[in-house]
């Protein structure tokens, strides 16, 4: 069946995939924060955490572009993005800076609260436009992974930038009047194509991975799937073939895996998001806890590492996952869900 046959409504597996991806980042960081080798990276050239982030960006590009192309409202688009990202982010930052930081700083409390680095951290991270700060004065400075308070936030900078790019494309396309939808679709497809070419050039010829280009490609390849949803068929044999190709390339070398991975990860994601059905869909009744897990996991893991010197990787994973999931549940039900419910009222007020 065509991808477009599956995209009506919200009865899919995206919530489940995103929570698994967020927990995969937690698992990956459990190795890094204890200075252990990250799984998969030595053999595949990419860590489990980076693969999870790719899934986030592909899914985000697909769903956000789909919403914008369907509703054709820049005001609604902007409010939806702001309400999804910033209320929960702000609460997490306030708790991190004024509670967690005060607990774990090695400085006297008065010196900590008066330190300019504290307010630089807060203002830098709450905007996500010009990058993020990683260090609070005296916090986690005795941890195995010294100092970094929330290393996960770097991807949020690129997420916001992708939203801005897509919103800018929509605004520019409006000048084409009757052809604006066609122009927007063309801009999305061109961005995905250019991003893909640059990713391969950087990897095979410049011999590095530019993270901004990689995430740009992942986001707009997801958006391109929405644009081409009437042409993409979700097929079990194709899914199986790509899975086998991915497995075999991983056994060969990093270069082969890189090439197969770039071409196959999007298709595999959308197949898993839409085709498996039945009991697996019951997770949707629980809530979308992935964002909360993503933004709380790193500081929770650093806190556990500080409180439990010599903790094992497995124990850090388990204890951090329990605490982080509890915070994510509270964040979703008390902050995120309520913030999203304000969208219609704010859009109406702005028009």
Question: How far lies 53's CA from each of 20, 263, 265, 285, in Å?
Answer: 11, 16, 12, 24
Closest by CA position to 324, among listed 298, 288, 285? 298
Distance from C-alpha of 306 to C-alpha of 275, rounded to nearest angstrom: 43
Q: Quickly tell me which residue has 């860590």 as its tokens.
A: 47
The answer to whether position 68 is within a domain reads: yes
The answer to whether position 96 is within a domain reads: no
C-alpha 300, offset from chain centre: 18
Distance from C-alpha of 89 to C-alpha of 227, rounded to nearest angstrom: 30
For each of the chain's 351 residues, which pLDDT tens digit applies? 899 998 887 889 999 999 999 999 999 999 999 999 888 888 888 899 999 999 999 999 999 999 999 888 899 999 999 999 999 999 999 999 999 999 999 999 999 999 999 999 999 999 998 899 999 999 999 999 998 999 999 999 999 999 999 999 999 998 887 888 899 999 999 999 999 999 999 888 877 777 899 999 999 999 999 999 999 999 999 999 999 999 999 989 999 999 999 999 999 999 999 999 888 998 988 889 999 999 999 999 999 999 999 999 999 999 999 999 999 999 999 999 999 888 888 777 766
pLDDT value of position 308: 94
The answer to whether position 220 is within a domain reads: yes
| HSE-up of residue 296 (Cα within 13 Å, Cβ side) | 24
Distance from C-alpha of 177 to C-alpha of 98, rounded to nearest angstrom: 49
The answer to whether position 138 is within a domain reads: no
Burial of 35 (0-12, 13-18, 19+ CB in 10 A): exposed
Name the pTM for this structure: 0.95
Task: Point out which residues pair with 224 in neighbouring strands.
Answer: none
| HSE-up of residue 172 (Cα within 13 Å, Cβ side) | 12
* Sign, CA torsion 87/88/92/98: positive
Total number of domains constituting the chain: 1
Task: Point out which residues pair with 105 in neighbouring strands.
Answer: 139
Q: Quickly tell me which residue has 């044999």 as its tokens.
A: 237
The answer to whether position 295 is within a domain reads: yes
The answer to whether position 107 is within a domain reads: no
Q: Domain range holding 314?
A: 3-91+151-350
pLDDT value of position 42: 86
Burial of 146 (0-12, 13-18, 19+ CB in 10 A): exposed
> 44 CB contacts (<8 Å, ≥6 apart)?
250, 254, 257
Q: Contact, 185 vs 226, CB < 8 A?
A: no
Q: Quickly tell me which residue has 């913030």 as its tokens.
A: 339
The answer to whether position 264 is within a domain reads: yes
pLDDT value of position 351: 65
Closest by CA position to 348, among listed 76, 68, 74, 81? 76
The answer to whether position 127 is within a domain reads: no
């Amino acid at each position: 069946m065509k991808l477009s046959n599956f995209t009506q409504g919200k009865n899919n597996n995206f919530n489940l995939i995103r929570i698994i991806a967020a927990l995969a980042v937690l698992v990956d960081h459990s190795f890094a924060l204890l200075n252990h080798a990250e799984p998969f990276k030595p053999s595949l050239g990419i860590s489990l955490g980076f693969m999870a982030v790719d899934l986030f960006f592909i899914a985000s590009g697909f769903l956000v572009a789909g919403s914008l192309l369907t509703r054709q409202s820049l005001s609604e688009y902007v409010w939806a993005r702001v309400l999804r990202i910033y209320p929960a982010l702000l609460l997490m930052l306030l708790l991190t800076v004024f509670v967690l930081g005060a607990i774990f700083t090695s400085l006297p409390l008065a010196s900590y609260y008066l330190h300019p680095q504290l307010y630089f951290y807060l203002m830098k991270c709450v905007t996500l436009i010009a990058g993020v700060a990683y260090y609070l004065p005296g916090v986690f400075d005795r941890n195995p992974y010294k100092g970094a308070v929330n290393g996960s936030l770097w991807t949020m900078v690129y997420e916001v930038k992708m939203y801005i790019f897509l919103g800018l494309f929509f605004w520019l396309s409006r000048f084409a009047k009757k052809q604006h939808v066609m122009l927007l679709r063309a801009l999305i497809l061109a961005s995905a194509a250019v991003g893909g070419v640059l990713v391969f050039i950087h990897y095979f010829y410049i011999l590095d991975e530019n993270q901004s280009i990689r995430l740009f490609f992942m986001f707009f390849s997801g958006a391109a799937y929405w644009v081409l949803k009437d042409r993409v068929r979700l097929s079990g044999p194709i899914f199986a073939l790509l899975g086998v190709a991915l497995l075999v390339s991983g056994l060969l070398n990093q270069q082969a895996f890189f090439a197969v991975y770039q071409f196959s990860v999007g298709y595999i994601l959308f197949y898993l998001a839409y085709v498996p059905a039945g009991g697996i869909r019951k997770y949707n009744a629980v809530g979308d806890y992935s964002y909360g897990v993503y933004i709380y996991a790193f500081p929770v893991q650093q806190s556990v590492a500080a409180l439990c010197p010599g903790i094992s990787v497995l124990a850090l994973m388990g204890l951090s996952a329990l605490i982080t999931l509890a915070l994510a549940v509270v964040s979703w039900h008390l902050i995120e869900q309520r913030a999203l419910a304000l969208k219609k009222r704010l859009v109406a007020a702005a028009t």
